[in-house]
A and B are shown apart, each in its own frame.
Chain A
């Protein structure tokens, strides 16, 4: 199959199926979570609480007192990675075209050079995080196949995107196909692995904030 045919497949039916599985899978997982429901709390909540579910949804992104000093690598590399990934996905002009095609919405793009730099930072951060996961005794103990798989399918789109943009290694049309395939792999696996935290983190943080908020603590 020539490279353009491969690209047409990657942008065509492969993408369709990946998106379908991604959307259907995500909806299904939300049902799996919310379907279990939560018993109404019959204890009287505090009325003047500084805490709430919505607040914690946002503030939990800030390292709690003393934690940054204890684990700077996890926090800093984690932030650099997430921010870089976020900028690359949502603020690179060609990607915004992708979203516009499906949703009709579009927004301003960052200069491509800036996105390029943030991708490099994200890749470096991922490398640091892998090294840390392998060396830190707690992380190493906790980690299994799922963690390394998640790392790999997250790295691939960043790496292949960077390589395509800079015409590295493979012929461009092929590289672009590989990039799109790597994104499709990520999409298909996201709902069914720890990568689902992309969405569920807002739910878990909300419940945390709600539980503590009722007791008068801002968590």
Chain B
């Protein structure tokens, strides 16, 4: 079996719903979405206009779901969506869109363009028009369990390392634990500080938690490539494990789209509400902090700023929590311009960082982050998404900027007062 244009067009027809119909009906071609998009802003190329990226989907809507469009189609007056067109649109939909959501906040008629890109990707992937690298990552995620090909033994090795470092046991497969902790491949490979930080913080706060060998991976390539069938398969692993272990809450780690996948798309993919809660690690830490269970001493004297990961802040609603937490451990916290829900994407979300073809573009559009960071004058950047972290490290190096990037959880753990 293979992907076909028909499957793609079919998927387009499946995903068009009332919101999408209202969005396409309302678009007045004002072009303001382009002004919000980092890809347009940093390149000046009008083809990166967000609503333009949706043109094939719009035509399917018009031709299938409007009376006038249907008449036009019958009379042979409409332009059908072809393979060539989808090939031309592939880089627009995948390379130059991180599903960051800025356009959705800016459109004067209220179009949620990001939502539509996500839906359009269903048709793009079903017709075989997704970037090769992303297909590979998805294949690994489905077949191996993680897009970077990491298996449980690799995690176990990290666990051993962390246990040795912290002298705290990392619970695995603990029935009835309050929290099921997930990690992203990026954290497992590049930032093991996360796991050790979690261990120490939870020990101090007296939080009962566990890892699961069959559900350690939080990322979801299916969401990024836009194939719900695959996204469902990936997220179901977490749901199955959470139900098996009878946890109260699943914690999404420092990763952007993982939060979207499990918190917001998960129940809809599974077709039923969850019997457990889902929280981002920042939310959990903030709750612990509010309850007085997060004890820190001293403050970081370095001037630092915070980058809002798109899926966590703008598309996830976790905006104030990191700031409250940073208030505890930072002496000189500086907000970058446009901080909060209007912050600029690192450029690597939505699968862009997994797409090697998109690398030159991604590095070019990093200029906006460069300007934001430079305007604060800091050399330390805090964030709460491992993908943002790696993308920004690459960008900072590309522009020869001497800025260190840290995860928020890891920073908190540095100032943790233990043994009290």
Contacts and interface: CB of A to CB of B under 8 A. Distances in A.
B106 A42 contact: no
B31 A201 contact: no
Interface of A: 28-29, 32-39, 41-44, 46, 49, 56-57, 60-61, 64-67, 70-71, 74, 78, 133, 136-143, 147, 192, 194, 196-197, 200-201, 203-209, 211-212, 214-217, 219
Interface string B18-54: 1111110111111110111000100010110101100
A33 B25 CA distance: 8
B277 A44 contact: yes
Contacts of B316: 215-217
Nearest to B315: A215
Interface string B291-333: 0000000000000000000000111111100000000000000
A83 to B, nearest CB: 14
Given A56-B110, A138-B34, A64 B105 contact: yes
B49 A42 contact: no
Interface stretch (B153-161, B174-182, B240-248, B258-266): B258-266
Contact of A37 (B18, B108, B272, B277): B18
B30 A41 contact: no
A209 B264 CA distance: 15
A139 B31 contact: yes
B150 interface: no
Given A141-B46, A142-B51, A215-B315, A43 B25 contact: no
Given A141-B46, A200-B22, A203-B18, 10 more contacts: A36-B16, A39-B17, A44-B273, A200-B25, A201-B110, A204-B19, A204-B25, A204-B109, A205-B109, A211-B112
Q: Which of A42, A67, A192, A196 has the most CB of B within 10 A?
A: A42
Contact of B106 (A38, A67, A194): A67
A66 B342 contact: yes
Main secondary structure of the interface of A (DSSP, over half): helix
A41 B268 contact: yes
Contacts of A35: 18
Contact of B36 (A41, A42, A67, A201): A67
A201 B26 contact: yes
A219 B109 CA distance: 12
Given A138-B40, A209-B110, A215-B317, A43 B264 contact: yes
Contacts of A70: 35
B36 to A, nearest CB: 7
B158 to A, nearest CB: 30
Contacts of A143: 29
Interface of B: 16-23, 25-32, 34-36, 40, 44, 46-47, 49, 51-52, 65-68, 104-112, 115, 263-268, 270-274, 277, 313-319, 338, 341-342
B258 to A, nearest CB: 14
B49 A60 contact: no
A141 B268 contact: no
24 contacts: A32-B21, A34-B18, A35-B18, A36-B17, A36-B18, A36-B65, A37-B18, A42-B273, A44-B274, A74-B32, A142-B49, A147-B28, A194-B26, A194-B27, A194-B29, A200-B22, A204-B109, A205-B110, A207-B110, A208-B104, A208-B107, A212-B104, A212-B105, A216-B319
Instruction: Please provide the 8 A-B residue pairs with the shortest distance between their CB atoms, ordered closest to farther.
Output: A216-B317, A205-B110, A138-B31, A42-B267, A207-B19, A208-B110, A203-B22, A200-B25
A142 B40 CA distance: 14
B49 A138 contact: yes
A32 B66 contact: yes
A118 B21 CA distance: 33
A143 B276 CA distance: 48
Given A37-B17, A65-B342, A142-B52, A215 B110 contact: no
Nearest to A146: B29
A26 B52 CA distance: 26
A44 B277 CA distance: 8
B253 to A, nearest CB: 18
Contacts of B21: 32-33, 36
A182 B181 CA distance: 65
A138 B41 CA distance: 11
B368 to A, nearest CB: 12
Contacts of A29: 25, 66
A179 B347 CA distance: 51
B112 A43 contact: no
Contacts of A208: 104, 107, 110-112
A44 B25 CA distance: 29
Nearest to B111: A204
Contact of B110 (A71, A78, A139, A204): A204
A42 B268 contact: yes
Contact of A206 (B46, B68, B110): B110
Contacts of B35: 67, 70-71, 138
A38 B18 CA distance: 6
A51 B313 CA distance: 14
B108 A60 contact: yes
A180 B315 CA distance: 47
Q: Which of A29, A56, A211 has the most CB of B within 10 A?
A: A211
A38 B17 contact: yes
Given A136-B31, A205-B109, A217 B314 contact: yes
Contacts of A212: 104-105, 112, 315
